[in-house]
């Protein structure tokens, strides 16, 4: 779910460009789209990354290192076991979770330039970093086009620029 508002000169141009960029990145990254770059890599165990995906994987691996493994893009099979990706929620057995946890771990990934190889049984999900990256890309479009005022909300990631058209500050609920 996304909400984008733009105000000022060329606001429609900015809005169209931002939506186009968001849709482009979603098509690359969505684990729910069998044709996405991430789904193809998950299915094949390896693949060549686009520039955007390579940047996000590098950033995700850096966050994984700096958090001592608390942020890990290899937990996708665990999220599936709980039903978070399908909405078919369930509590997996301890043995199922243990087996999935043994396969997880970004230390088992190999990133060599634009080539990514997953460890045995691994699948990745960039959802924990993709919305922020996508919001940053849309914000860059706002700035490049010269949007005076606007907001971007991508499922909980919120960016605001300038003030509301009436001059009042934006309010963001947390």
Give the pLDDT confidence score for residue 37 in this predicted structure. 97
* Predicted confidence (pLDDT) per residue in 103-162, tens digit: 999 999 999 999 999 999 999 999 999 999 999 999 999 999 999 899 999 988 899 999
Gap between the Cα atoms of 23 and 110, Å rounded:
28
Rounded to the nearest integer, the mean pLDDT of the chain is 94
Encoded tokens for 57: 């994987």
Encoded tokens for 147: 């949007």
Can you state the angle between helices 11-29 and 51-66, rounded to 10 degrees? 70
CB-count exposure of residue 19 (10 Å: 0-12, 13-18, 19+): middle
DSSP 8-state secondary structure symbol assigned to residue 123: -
Residue 172 CB neighbour total at 10 angstroms: 10
Average pLDDT over residues 3-20: 92
Residue 148 CB neighbour total at 10 angstroms: 15
Residue 1, pLDDT > 80, answer no
Cβ(58)–Cβ(114) below 8 Å: no
Gap between the Cα atoms of 59 and 57, Å rounded:
5
Average pLDDT over residues 17-44: 96
Which H or E run contains 15? helix 11-29
Gap between the Cα atoms of 43 and 46, Å rounded:
8
């Amino acid at each position: 779910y996304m909400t984008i508002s733009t105000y000022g000169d060329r606001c429609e141009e900015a809005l169209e460009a931002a939506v186009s960029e968001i849709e482009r990145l979603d098509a690359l990254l969505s684990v729910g789209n069998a044709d996405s770059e991430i789904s193809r890599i998950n299915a094949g165990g390896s693949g060549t990354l686009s520039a955007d995906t390579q940047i996000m994987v590098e950033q995700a691996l850096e966050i994984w290192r700096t958090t001592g493994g608390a942020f890990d893009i290899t937990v996708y099979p665990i999220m599936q076991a709980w039903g978070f990706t399908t909405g078919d929620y369930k509590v997996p057995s301890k043995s199922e979770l243990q087996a999935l946890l043994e396969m997880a771990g970004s230390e088992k990934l190999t990133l060599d330039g634009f080539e990514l190889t997953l460890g045995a049984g691994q699948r990745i999900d960039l959802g924990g970093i993709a919305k922020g990256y996508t919001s940053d890309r849309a914000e860059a479009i706002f700035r490049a086009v010269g949007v005076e005022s606007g907001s971007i909300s991508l499922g909980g990631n919120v960016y605001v620029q300038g003030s509301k058209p009436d001059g009042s500050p934006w309010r963001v609920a947390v």
